[in-house]
Structure 1
Amino acid sequence: MDIFQTIVLALIQGLSEFLPISSSAHLILVPKLTHWTDQGLGFDVVVHMGTLSAVIFYYQAMIKSLSFDFYHSIIKRQTIGQSKLAWGVLLGTIPVGLAGVLFKDSIASDLRSVEIIAYATLVFGVLLGFASWFNHRNKSPRSTVSWVDIAFVGMMQTLALIPGSSRSGITITACMLVGLSRKLSIQFSFLLSIPVISLSLILILIDLYHQAQLVNVSLLALGFVVSAISAYVTIVFFIKLIDTVGMMPFVFYRLTLGVFLLLLIL
């Protein structure tokens, strides 16, 4: 990898991790379409660390509050403040964590084709559009999560293991389908990204431990900085953009990309 490739791939990770367009699909597609060599596990680690640091920094005050309520809910054995949301982040991660561990090898070998990415991009784009329409028509969206919401969103998040589905896209879709407000849907989705990215980092580090790879420290540092900054800007931009234009621009993008990929492989 050279500096240009490092910046491009780090930008892709940072920009697409929290947008409902699938970062994994774009990180697979760009090297394939440009015939770049594989970026390596070391690079995957640092760019994931960059996006993780961005979302933690953005939600640092809320994370402190949720941690406080979570701790006291255990001590007092009752719901305290936003402790249910904190439990939701924890419990909602279990299904995708188990599925990721159990099917990691088959996902890596069987689901990374351009054809699967194309169909997943289209199908989940349509589903996102329907959820956005449903949310717009909902006159009384809820501002709190229930245990049923947590279970449904957690199960739906397992679909994010399919490249092209988008973890943020499928969780936001699930939240809006159960009637949560758009603000809470985005908030819950982004908070769910913290343990999910952390788990994916652990799995990548395990694979990296068993592989001897030469790394360019300066390029890895550049990748971390670019992914962290671009991810933070994306979070701020996305939250503000959704308030004005909604989800439809991302739905149109997904449909356009999906059709382009299908035409590419025909």
Structure 2
Amino acid sequence: MNPIHAAVLGTVQGLTEVLPISSSGHLILIPKFLKWPESGLTFDVALHLGTFIALALYFWRDILELFGSFLASLKEGANTPAKRLPYYILAATIPAAIVGKTLEGPIEEMFRKSPATIAALLIGFGVLLAFADTTGAKRWRVDRMTLKYAIIIGLAQCLALLPGVSRSGITITAALLLGFNREASARFSFLISLPIVAGAAILKVGHLVKAGIPAGEAAPLAIGIATSAVFGYLSVAFLLKLVQRDSLYPFFWYRLLAGCGALTLIFLGY
């Protein structure tokens, strides 16, 4: 992993992990078409850690409020929407954590050999996002979240293991179909991603500590963390502002063009 590759892929991770366009799909397809070598454990750590830093920095107030609400619920009971929200986030996180722990490796390995399937998923789930944005009632805010809805969104998040689906894309889609407005859908999507991204970062860092940083990998590691964190933070801010005033159709069009472009390159033999 050279510094230029690290900067490009860190930027791609920061943008695509947050925006509903699939980070795993991009991180498989871009190196393939550019004939770059696959990134190893060291760079996986950089990408996950950078994304977690971005989310933690942007949502630090929400994190403190959630922690305070959780402590208050232990003393007073979960008798308000704010005090119930930490439990809903946990409920939405558990399915993806279990499925991810058992299937992430085999699924990613399988799809690395099938870029056409990744391209098709980019298009298909882009269409589903557009459908949800068009037909969803968009009448509820986060304070209308229930345990049932949280579990449904959490189950939908399991589909994000498929490269090309997008974690934020599928959870926003599910929330929109359940009747939540765009801002609530995006915010809840980011909040439930925090434990998943944090857990992935901790596991990857643990593996790296055991294996050690290979010679010459320290600089790409730092570049990957920095670019992923910076562009991840900017992407969160951009998306939450966008959903307050505009539709999610730009992401549908991007996914359609990216998927069709990838299929064209595959057809041409790249």
Match of 2:36 in 1: 36
Which range moved further: 248-257 or 40-49? 40-49
Any idea what SS the aligned residue of 2:28 has? helix
- The alignment's C-alpha RMSD in Å is 1.8
Report the Cα distance in structure 2 between the residues aligned to 1:105 and 1:139, rounded to whole angstroms: 36
1:28-80 per-position Cα deviation (integer Å, ceiling 9, x unaligned): 11111111112211111122111111111111111111111112212333334
Match of 2:25 in 1: 25
Match of 1:247 in 2: 248
Matched residue type, 1:229: V
Cα displacement (A) at 1:89: 1.3
2:140, 2:184 within 8 Å by CA — same for their partners in 1?
no
Matched residue type, 1:47: L
Matched residue type, 2:123: L
Listed as ranges, the gaps of 5+ residues in structure 2 are none
Q: How many residues align?
A: 264
Matches within 5 A, 1:113-124: 113-124=114-125
Report the Cα distance in structure 2 between the residues aligned to 1:139 and 1:99, rounded to whole angstroms: 29
Cα displacement (A) at 1:213: 5.8
Match of 1:262 in 2: 263
Any idea what SS the aligned residue of 2:145 has? coil
Matched residue type, 1:235: V
Match of 2:110 in 1: 110
Q: Call closer, same or farther: CA 1:51–1:20 in 2, change over 3 Å.
A: same
Matches within 5 A, 1:31-180: 31-112=31-112, 113-135=114-136, 138=137, 140-143=139-142, 144-180=144-180
Cα displacement (A) at 1:232: 0.7
Listed as ranges, the gaps of 5+ residues in structure 1 are none
Which range moved further: 202-211 or 92-101? 202-211
2:138, 2:181 within 8 Å by CA — same for their partners in 1?
no
Cα displacement (A) at 1:209: 6.0
Cα displacement (A) at 1:141: 3.1
Match of 2:239 in 1: 238
2:50, 2:226 within 8 Å by CA — same for their partners in 1?
yes
Matched residue type, 1:28: I
Matched residue type, 2:140: P
Cα displacement (A) at 1:201: 2.2
Report the Cα distance in structure 1 between the residues aligned to 2:95 and 2:138, rounded to whole angstroms: 31
Report the Cα distance in structure 2 between the residues aligned to 1:104 and 1:167, rounded to whole angstroms: 13
Q: Call closer, same or farther: CA 1:95–1:263 in 2, change over 3 Å.
A: same
Report the Cα distance in structure 2 between the residues aligned to 1:23 and 1:108, rounded to whole angstroms: 12
Cα displacement (A) at 1:27: 0.8
Any idea what SS the aligned residue of 2:18 has? coil
Report the Cα distance in structure 2 between the residues aligned to 1:264 and 1:218, rounded to whole angstroms: 32
1:5-29 per-position Cα deviation (integer Å, ceiling 9, x unaligned): 1110110011111000001111111
Match of 2:9 in 1: 9
Give the TM-score of the pair, scaled to structure 1: 0.92
Report the Cα distance in structure 1 between the residues aligned to 2:155 and 2:15, rounded to whole angstroms: 25
1:70, 1:80 within 8 Å by CA — same for their partners in 2?
no
Q: Call closer, same or farther: CA 1:236–1:105 in 2, change over 3 Å.
A: closer
Q: Percent identity?
A: 38
Report the Cα distance in structure 1 between the residues aligned to 2:105 and 2:224, rounded to whole angstroms: 26
Cα displacement (A) at 1:196: 1.0
1:69, 1:80 within 8 Å by CA — same for their partners in 2?
no
Report the Cα distance in structure 2 between the residues aligned to 1:233 and 1:108, rounded to whole angstroms: 27
Report the Cα distance in structure 2 between the residues aligned to 1:203 and 1:53, rounded to whole angstroms: 15
Report the Cα distance in structure 2 between the residues aligned to 1:148 and 1:117, rounded to whole angstroms: 30
Q: Call closer, same or farther: CA 1:105–1:51 in 2, change over 3 Å.
A: closer
Matched residue type, 2:145: V
Report the Cα distance in structure 2 between the residues aligned to 1:78 and 1:107, rounded to whole angstroms: 38
1:72, 1:80 within 8 Å by CA — same for their partners in 2?
no
